[in-house]
Amino acid sequence: MSLNTTGKADMTRKFDPDDAGKPTLPVRVLVVDDEPMIRQLLTDVLGDAGYTVDTVANGEEAILKLRDVRYDFIITDLMMPGMSGIQVLETVKQLDPETEVIVMTGYASLNTAIECMKLGAADYLNKPINIDEIRIILTRMVEKKRLVQKAREVDFYKELSRTDGLTQLYNHKFFHQLLATEIARARRYGGEISLLMIDVDHFKAYNDNNGHPMGDAALQKVSWILSETSRDVDSVARYGGEEFAIIAPETPKQGGLELGERLRKKIEGADFENSHVMPGGKFTVSIGVAAYPQDASAKSDLIEKADQALYQAKASGRNVVVAYEAH
């Protein structure tokens, strides 16, 4: 699977029996060797196997190439005039640690092989070259890179599925999963949780007067302030629209109120562009706080109680923090 220019998966490539054993994505290889015959041999063999191959005659030329082109693999001789293969290996790993380097030598020694591996070489080959061995090594390395890339894509899409696109905070769906997990943990170990529901005051007025792009920028700034002011153990989410939520584990209601007040002051004191259009002339938030198990014993009840406290905060004039109180 590859990604096209639109960012969508490209599923149009069909299987061709002649492609068996060839890399499924363009793979660039740089061959560094002072022997023209070796360079030509590897160009022919690897080219037939589906790789894009460039060659240079020495280490200095290799480093110049590397500044302009990114290679997946480098096959370098160790003993060359001028810059040695070990120096090439060291420089490659400094420029791009993910580039795999295979070293070759006609003067094999165990100490040299160990030194190369310590410096990050992927493999070590003796001359004369065994073409089948090089094919096998590269095929194995391409598969390893493919698996690593696939794992990264899985992690990326997993992160994407739980992240709000605008603010990069946790999204509404993942917030519910997190809160359920935290309540289950608190129930098991006897902990306390504060839930803060946060709403931007008069956000529609800000959006209507300044336009949606500036409104989006303001929400991003609010998100950043919430994340930076909260503790590392707190989970900050965009609940929807201009509403946010923070799960504060191991925090009684008083601690939630104190956190809410810090957040309220930070946002009130921040510089939001054109905030003078807001009623009251500044950008503010209202915050409602409820706690588990003091106010609720289940997730839905806790959210409802925090929402009720938020409603009270807005009804009492906004730009305040209100804790839920049973009536």
The predicted structure's pLDDT at residue 18: 43
Label residue 250 left, alpha or beta by phi (over 0 means left) and psi (-120 to 50 means alpha): left
Q: Is the pLDDT of residue 111 over 90?
A: no
pLDDT tens, residue by residue, 254-280: 999 999 999 999 999 999 999 998 988
The predicted structure's pLDDT at residue 1: 33
Confidence of residue 250 (pLDDT cuts 50, 70, 90): very high
> How many whole angstroms separate alpha carbon 127 and alpha carbon 103?
10
If you ran DSSP here, which 8-state letter would residue 101 be given? E
> How many whole angstroms separate alpha carbon 119 and alpha carbon 30?
19
Least confident span in 14-23, 216-225, 260-269, 290-299: 14-23
Nearest to 33 by CA among 2, 66, 1, 77: 77
Confidence of residue 132 (pLDDT cuts 50, 70, 90): confident
Confidence of residue 25 (pLDDT cuts 50, 70, 90): low
The predicted structure's pLDDT at residue 141: 83
Percentage of the chain exceeding pLDDT 70:
89
Least confident span in 158-167, 231-240, 281-290: 158-167
Q: How far apart are the first and last CA of the chain?
A: 58
Sign of the torsion formed by the C-alpha atoms of 30, 34, 38 and 40 = positive
What CATH superfamily classification does 172-323 receive?
Answer: Reverse transcriptase/Diguanylate cyclase domain (3.30.70.270)
Least confident span in 19-23, 191-195, 237-241: 19-23
The predicted structure's pLDDT at residue 108: 60
Is 242 exposed, middle or buried (CB count within 10 Å of its CB: 0-12, 13-18, 19+)? buried
The answer for residues whose C-beta is within 8 angstroms of residue 220's C-beta and 6 or more apart is 166, 167
64 vs 8: which has the higher pLDDT: 64
Q: What is the mean pLDDT of the chain?
A: 86
pLDDT tens, residue by residue, 35-61: 999 999 999 988 888 889 999 999 899
Is the distance from CB of 319 to CB of 291 less than 8 angstroms?
Answer: no
150 vs 165: which has the higher pLDDT: 165
For the chain, where do the domains classified as CATH 3.30.70.270 start and end? 172-323
88 vs 155: which has the higher pLDDT: 88
- DSSP three-state, residue 158: helix
The predicted structure's pLDDT at residue 22: 52
Q: Is the pLDDT of residue 72 over 70?
A: yes
Residue type, 193: I
Domain 2-159 is found in CATH 3.20.20.70: no
The predicted structure's pLDDT at residue 160: 66
The predicted structure's pLDDT at residue 117: 79
Tokens 């009130």, residue located: 268
Catalytic positions, written as ranges: 242
89 vs 153: which has the higher pLDDT: 89
Determine the average pLDDT of the residues in 301-326: 96
Q: Is the pLDDT of residue 133 over 90?
A: no
The predicted structure's pLDDT at residue 255: 96
| Pairing label, strands 9-10, 2-3 | antiparallel
> How many whole angstroms separate alpha carbon 51 and alpha carbon 29?
7
Is the distance from CB of 281 to CB of 275 less than 8 angstroms?
Answer: yes
If you ran DSSP here, which 8-state letter would residue 163 be given? B
Determine the average pLDDT of the residues in 137-144: 83
Nearest to 219 by CA among 175, 281, 273: 273
90 vs 17: which has the higher pLDDT: 90
Which range has highest mean pLDDT (38-47, 93-102, 104-113, 259-268)? 259-268
Determine the average pLDDT of the residues in 243-247: 97
Q: Is the pLDDT of residue 226 over 90?
A: yes
> How many whole angstroms separate alpha carbon 63 and alpha carbon 296?
64
Q: Is the pLDDT of residue 10 over 60?
A: no
pLDDT tens, residue by residue, 278-309: 988 899 999 999 999 999 999 999 999 999 99
